[in-house]
């Protein structure tokens, strides 16, 4: 019975202290707004920073899968050894045709599509641009499979069409067209080297101009039909590279193991093995450190605000003590007050963060303007979407509440141990 009375009295006492804390919040509007804003700013920036980092990593992974590796890629060992030169004399699959590889690899569980690609250096004659990359693809198949323009989620064409199968046609990027003064209908005199090391001269007509929002491709790449380039380079039905696209990226491990069994003499890689993806994953430690530094700075913002608020109320603390409140009760009042303020601030910061990241996930940032356009070889689109994530919002909210609550304990404990007479004198 006595224990129940004590428990009931304790609950009443706690409720009364929480009520006092709420009244203190309403009593001083300036102080309340200052603390709420401090917590809200810290929460907002932690959310936006996390959303930006997550968006950048996701964008790089998507560009790598679309343009470089698919979910799983396979090339010959000789090609891998000299890949920076894009040698065309080393087809994948020991010379097996692309149709054979498609039929075999397409039977692997989880595989959505199998495509072949050829990339070769070319020299442009009678042009201000002297060098380009020929990119042999099946345009109809590839554009049905992927969005080449990651910003607009389209095939990337801004004018005309992609080359028709077998035709002496090409498509070029907007940057190349602008630099070289080319337009649809013009011919591009090209020279490249075949798999038999003979020079091949040809002049495909421009049928389309694309903008993939990927500087490397918009400036350097000439898209030609895969079948046309196979014949021109003397590859028959073979290709340099086979890309396997899965239903889901996380199926890459199982699919890569199956591809290795079918192509034991070739180099098979998952999209996660790409240099830039691996670099971003390893660099996450740096991002975590930078994020922690930001959290520390944000925490100090909250601490300074709370300390200032408590310091201004030393006489109030003395008055509480002189009226018979215990040190524990004084600490609880300040703790409840900070808890309520931190919840308000964290909610405000999370709400503004949600709106900002939501807008940023629809309307992207201009990454080229942010970086000065200096990342031509970096596999990321020219625009950057923020990643809207409920998990990030919850983390930011909890950060604001927990940090503000912890930060309040130390200054309030110190103030609670000041003698009432001494506090009233200050």
Q: What is the pLDDT of residues 98-127, one digit of tens each?
A: 999 999 999 999 999 999 999 999 998 777
Q: Check residue 424 and give its pLDDT.
A: 56
Give residue 170's domain range: 88-239
| Model confidence at 236: pLDDT above 70 | yes
Q: Is residue 1 part of a domain?
A: no
Q: Is 295 exposed, middle or buried (0-12, 13-18, 19+ CB in 10 A)?
A: middle
Same-domain pairing of 331 and 198: no
Q: Tokens 């073979």 sit at which residue?
A: 238
Same-domain pairing of 227 and 282: no
Q: Is residue 79 part of a domain?
A: no
Quick: pLDDT tens for 248-268.
Answer: 989 999 999 999 999 999 999
Q: Is residue 256 part of a domain?
A: no
Q: Tokens 């996701």 sit at which residue?
A: 58
Mean confidence (pLDDT) of the chain: 83
Same-domain pairing of 108 and 175: yes
Report the distance separating Cα 196 and Cα 13, nearest Å: 91
Q: How far apart are the first and last CA of the chain?
A: 45
253 contacts 215 by C-beta, under 8 angstroms: no
Element (DSSP H or E) covering residue 327: helix 327-360
Q: Is residue 265 part of a domain?
A: no
Name the band, by pLDDT with cuts 50, 70 and 90, for residue 371.
low
What values do phi and psi take at 241, rounded to 5? -140, 140
As a whole number, mean pLDDT of residues 161-174 equals 95
Same-domain pairing of 92 and 184: yes
As a whole number, mean pLDDT of residues 133-143 equals 94
What values do phi and psi take at 366, rounded to 5? -80, 100
Name the band, by pLDDT with cuts 50, 70 and 90, for residue 9.
very low
Q: Is residue 330 part of a domain?
A: yes
Q: Is residue 414 part of a domain?
A: yes
| Model confidence at 92: pLDDT above 70 | yes
| Model confidence at 421: pLDDT above 70 | no
Taking every pair of Cα atoms in the chain, the longest distance, rounded to a whole number of angstroms, is 101
Domain C-terminal end among 184, 215, 239: 239
Pick from 177, 186, 179: which is nearest to 128 by CA?
Answer: 179
Same-domain pairing of 130 and 233: yes
Same-domain pairing of 173 and 101: yes
How far CA 251 is from CA of 110, 246, 272, in Å, comes to: 7, 7, 11
Same-domain pairing of 231 and 298: no
Same-domain pairing of 311 and 197: no
Q: Strands 266-270 and 72-76: what pairing? A: antiparallel
Same-domain pairing of 100 and 174: yes
How many CA atoms within 13 Å lie on the side-chain side of 423? 20
Pick from 339, 316, 309, 337: which is nearest to 416 by CA?
Answer: 316
Q: Is residue 308 part of a domain?
A: yes
Same-domain pairing of 289 and 392: yes
Same-domain pairing of 319 and 412: yes
Name the band, by pLDDT with cuts 50, 70 and 90, for residue 278.
confident
Q: Is residue 273 part of a domain?
A: no
Q: Distance of alpha carbon 387 from its chain centroid, rounded?
A: 7
72 contacts 246 by C-beta, under 8 angstroms: yes
Residue 104 is encoded by which pair of tokens?
A: 């075999």
Same-domain pairing of 208 and 317: no
| Model confidence at 204: pLDDT above 90 | yes
């Amino acid at each position: 019975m006595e224990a129940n009375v004590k428990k009931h009295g304790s609950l009443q006492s706690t409720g009364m202290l929480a009520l006092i804390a709420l009244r203190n919040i309403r009593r001083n509007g300036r102080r309340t707004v200052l603390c709420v804003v401090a917590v809200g700013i810290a929460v907002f920036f932690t959310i936006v920073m996390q959303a930006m980092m997550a968006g950048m990593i996701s964008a790089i992974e998507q560009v790598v899968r679309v343009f470089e590796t698919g979910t799983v890629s396979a090339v010959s060992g000789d090609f891998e050894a000299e890949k920076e030169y894009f040698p065309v004399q080393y087809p994948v699959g020991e010379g097996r045709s692309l149709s054979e590889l498609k039929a075999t690899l397409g039977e692997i569980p989880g595989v959505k599509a199998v495509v072949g690609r050829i990339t070769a250096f070319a020299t442009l004659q009678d042009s201000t641009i002297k060098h380009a990359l020929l990119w042999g693809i099946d345009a109809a198949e590839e554009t049905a499979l992927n969005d080449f323009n990651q910003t607009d989620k389209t095939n990337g064409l801004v004018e005309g069409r992609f080359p028709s199968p077998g035709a002496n046609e090409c498509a070029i990027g907007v940057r190349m067209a602008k630099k070289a003064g080319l337009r649809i209908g013009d011919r591009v005199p090209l020279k490249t080297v075949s798999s038999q090391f003979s020079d091949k001269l040809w002049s495909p007509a421009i049928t389309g101009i694309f903008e993939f929002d990927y500087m490397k491709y918009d400036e350097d790449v000439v898209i030609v039909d895969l079948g046309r380039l196979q014949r021109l380079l003397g590859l028959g039905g073979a290709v340099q590279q086979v890309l396997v696209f899965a239903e889901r990226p996380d199926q890459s491990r199982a699919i890569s193991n199956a591809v290795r069994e079918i192509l034991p003499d070739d180099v098979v890689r998952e999209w996660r093995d790409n240099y830039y993806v691996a670099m971003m994953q390893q660099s996450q430690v740096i991002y975590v450190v930078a994020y922690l530094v930001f959290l520390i700075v944000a925490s100090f913002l909250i601490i300074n605000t709370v300390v200032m608020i408590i310091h201004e109320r030393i006489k109030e603390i003395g008055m509480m003590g002189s009226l018979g409140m215990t040190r524990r009760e004084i600490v609880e009042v300040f703790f409840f007050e900070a808890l309520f303020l931190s919840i308000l601030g964290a909610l405000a910061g999370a709400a503004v963060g949600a709106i900002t990241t939501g807008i940023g996930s629809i309307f992207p940032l201009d990454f080229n303007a942010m970086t000065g356009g200096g990342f031509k070889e970096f596999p990321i689109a020219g625009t950057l979407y923020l990643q809207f994530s409920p998990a990030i919002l919850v983390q930011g909210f909890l950060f604001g509440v927990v940090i503000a609550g912890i930060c309040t304990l130390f200054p309030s404990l110190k103030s609670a141990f000041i003698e009432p007479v001494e506090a009233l004198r200050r």
